[in-house]
Amino acid sequence: MSENRGKENNDEEQLQGAVGGEDVIDDPILEQGAIVLRGYVIERINTEDPSRHVTSEDLGGQSNEQQEPQIKEVVEQLIKIADELNKNAELQRLINQVQANCAQDIFMKVARSIFADGINWGRVVALFHLAYKLIYKALTTNHLENIRLIISWVLQVIREQLYYWLVQQGGWEGVIQGWSHWRTFTLVASMILVATIVYYRRTR
């Protein structure tokens, strides 16, 4: 029993260390996940709102973390998948209605819905895309304290739902070879729509 309590305490400490992402040094999958997420958010903002200059430090990271070629390549691949998401106007309209200050339990419900019947890179990007929308709203509404919270929620989803799948893919670099274009858009669009519908049915 004491061993179980020790494991629980250790898990809690790791999750606490994941807040913001910059101090996640005990686990490469989580550490890189936080860096890739920040890179994804920065690239999306650069594309959609070029006048707004956002750095890794603004998102709780370190100044040079986006310079590694492998990180850049992973982020670029995720952005290509996200470009398919952006073609779905109804999907964008629904995501845009999610409140910037949504509670953690709502975020987790939506995340669980995204991965309810499987994991693929398209669905991982869907999670990142939702997080990006919330982070962008936090930035534009000056709720900067929410940014680290949202990143910590994503890291919790990675730890609890995606971790072993990511290990099987060879880590985040797996997206470079492991993305199937023709399947991604259909699966992502359908799952996000389902997730968003679930969100509205439970909160209205």
Q: What is the pLDDT of residues 15-73, one digit of tens each?
A: 443 444 444 447 899 999 999 999 999 999 998 899 988 999 999 999 899 999 999 99
In a domain, 21, yes or no: no
Cα three-residue angle 63-58-136, rounded to 5 degrees: 130
Q: What residues contact 173, with CB distance under 8 A and at least 6 apart? A: 70, 73, 74
Using a 10 angstrom Cβ sphere, with 0-12 exposed, 13-18 middle and 19 or more buried, the burial of residue 130 is buried
CA 90 to chain centre: 21
Please report, for the domain that includes residue 49, its CATH number.
1.10.437.10
Output DSSP code: residue 98: S
Boundaries of domain holding 112: 28-173
Task: Give per-residue pLDDT as tens, 157-186.
Answer: 999 999 999 999 999 998 887 655 445 555
**Rounded CA separation 89/106 (Å):** 23
Give which of 3, 12, 65, 7 is closest to 37, Cα–Cα.
65
Number of structural domains (the chain) is 1
